[in-house]
Amino acid sequence: MKFTEWIAVYAAILSTLTFLWNLNVSRSKVKVSILPGLDKPDAEGKERFGVYVAVRNPSNHTVHITSIGIVHNYRPVSLVETVLHSLEFRRWNRYTLWVHTSEPFENIETGAPVSIEPRSSHVFFVPEEAIKRMVENEPHSTGRFAAVAQDALWRNKYSRPYKLPNGGHGGEKTESRLSQMSDEAEP
C-alpha cells in the first residue's frame, strides 16, 4: 500500500470514531442508584435509617424527570416466564412481574418533576419503614426493590435491585439489621 492509501485508511477510521463519539455524547443519559444511609436527625436527635435514591445526569444535556418511583417484584419469576414475556412484548425486560407502587411515597417529597442539569444529580430519602410497608404487604415478595425514574418521553431507567439487609420477606414482621446494629452501638 502506498503512503496516501494509509492516510486514507487513517482518515476513515478517525472520522468513524468521531461520528460514534458524537453520537454517544449527543444522547441524554440518566443513571439511578439506591444507597443505604441515615437521614438527618429530627427534632429529638434520632436518625432514621433508609435508602437514598439518586438520579444522576452524566450527559451534556439537561434531563427532565417527570416521575420517580419504586418497583418491587410481585413474586419470583422463572426463566421460562421471562422468555415468554419477552417474546409476547418483543423486548427484553429484566423486571418481569415487578410492579410500581406509590404507597411508600405518600408522605415523601421526591422533588419530581425535576430538571437535572448536566453533570448533576437529584437525591431524596426513603425511610426504612416505608419500604418495609411496601414489601410486607406482598405475601410472595422476596424483599427486593428498585428505583425507577421516568423522563418526559416516558423512557424508564431502573436502578439495580436492592434488598433490605434482613431479607424483608412479605408478611413477616422483622427488624432491620441496620436498626439492630444501632441498638447494639448504644452504651
Residue 105: predicted pLDDT = 65
Q: State mean pLDDT over 80-93.
A: 83
Q: pTM value?
A: 0.71
Residue 182: predicted pLDDT = 45
Q: Quick one: pLDDT band at residue 169, thresholds 50, 70, 90? A: very low
Q: Quick one: pLDDT band at residue 94, thresholds 50, 70, 90? A: confident
Q: State mean pLDDT over 24-30.
A: 84
Q: Quick one: pLDDT band at residue 76, thresholds 50, 70, 90? A: confident
Residue 34: predicted pLDDT = 92
For residues 85, 90, 96, 98, the Cα torsion angle rounded to the nearest 10 degrees is -130
pLDDT in tens, 50-59: 889 999 999 8
Q: Which three cell numbers stand for residue 41?
A: 436527625
What average pLDDT does the chain have? 80
CA distance 95 to 148: 11
Q: What is the DSSP string of the chain?
A: --HHHHHHHHHHHHHHHHHHHHHHHHS---EEEEEEEEPPP-TTSPPPEEEEEEEEE-SSS-EEEEEEEEEEESS---HHHHHHHHHHHTS--TTTTEEEE-GGGTT-----SEEEPTTEEEEEEEEHHHHHHHHHT-TT--SEEEEEEEETT--EEE---EE-TT---TT-----HHHHHHHHH--
pLDDT of 137 above 50: yes
CA distance 50 to 53: 10
pLDDT of 167 above 70: no
